[in-house]
Amino acid sequence: MPCAGRFFPGRPLRGPISLVAAGAFLLSLAAPALQGPRAEGASKKPARAANPSYKSAILIDAESGHILRSHNPRQPVIPASVVKMMTSLLALEHIRHKKARMSDRVKVSRAASLVGGHQVYLRPGEVFRLENLLKAVMIGSANDAAYAVAEHVAGNEPAFVRMMNQRARQLGLKDTRFVNVNGLPAGRGRPSNLMSARDAAMLARKLIHDFPFVLAWTSTRMTPFRPGKFNLYNTNKLVGRFAGLDGLKTGFTPEAGFSIVATAKRGDLRLIGVVFGSPQSQRRFNEARNLLAWGFSNYSRQAAKGKSPRDGRKTRVLKQNPDGASLGAQPQPYRLTLEGAGAGRPEAAAGEEDGPESPGSLMAAKPAAQRPQPGVMQLR
């Protein structure tokens, strides 16, 4: 005989305790109706602590340098192949100063041919145009091509690395250290390349500001390297999959995780987003896509009254879109500059060199009843 107080489907209830249990059961079924409709947009689960799938991230307006969102922007992390942005910048500046030409014939050394990792399989004695090697660096993230470029510019890798660190200091990259030209692991017991998301954004801004034609390379999904024998495939899988995206650089090593410096332009607004240290390749692309989508949903560049004192052209200012106001997404009160971190920042508050994580920072809490907006990053 079943125990009193238990409910077995298909069997009669027995005893007063059984009636109480049955009443409680029926009341629980009716509870949602008694509570009334759920507030629109309210979460069904309690808010959970922020747990981003990256070590650090930042979003900036490329024209003004204003930081729109950030998470651990000054944390030095291992950038992997993102260091190749500096390798390319130095080579292109070398060309601009007429110390080299795009048409230079670069002979591959044995040392360059022995570089491992992601590569275009250079062989000793092969000769390539400097321009083609730079494309292999920025499109295919070729480690051997980066080494060959460094040797052509500085004679050897150690000399080029010294140039990289000197240029980093000139640009105000305070959280950056270079130990090689391609971002490969330096080896056990040796220091690693380091870079913060803030420094990566500054470097990317400098690169595309001074050499915008690089974006024609980095927006290419595939191009021949050895015609008919070898093709370069872009390591940035957002190319062709996110409107306006045309760069810029990815990076990965087991220790560093998966990283990306992504840039896109819609209308007059160009954004640069950096995501460092994701545990999976697709996650970095997803986070970068969400970051850029949030920026384009919340900001636009509009013409302002008056003209620029520099060139007489109409000035354009960064404006917050009305639809984004509910997110509290105000630009942080400081910005990045092209030459040195201290210049052009009179609006920085005293004692806030790095800037606080503003209400519009990546990890800001979203109001519980706020309805998700299309194209806007959903904060966790």
27: in domain: no
Q: How far apart are the first and last CA of the chain?
A: 52
Identify whether 220 is part of a domain: yes
Residue 169 φ then ψ, to 5°: -65, -40
Residue 368 is assigned to a structural domain of this protein: no
Q: Which of 185, 120, 173, 189 is nearest to 149 (CA)?
A: 120
Banded model confidence at residue 303, pLDDT cuts 50, 70, 90: confident
Residue 134 in any domain: the answer is: yes
Report the domain count for the chain. 1
Q: Would you state the structure tokens that stand for residue 318, as one six-digit string?
A: 């960064």
CA dihedral 36, 40, 46, 49 (to 10 degrees): -170
For 168-181, write each residue's pLDDT tens digit: 999 999 999 999 99
Residue span of the structural domain in which 86 resides: 56-327
**Catalytically active residues, by annotation:** 81, 84, 141
User: For the segment 29-52, what is each residue's pLDDT rounded down to a tens digit?
Assistant: 444 443 433 333 333 333 333 567
In a domain, 43, yes or no: no
Indicate whether 166 belongs to any domain. Answer: yes
Looking at the domain assignment, is residue 305 inside a domain?
A: yes
Is 312 part of any domain? yes
Q: How confident is the model at residue 371 (pLDDT cuts 50, 70, 90)?
A: very low
CATH assignment at residue 317: 3.40.710.10
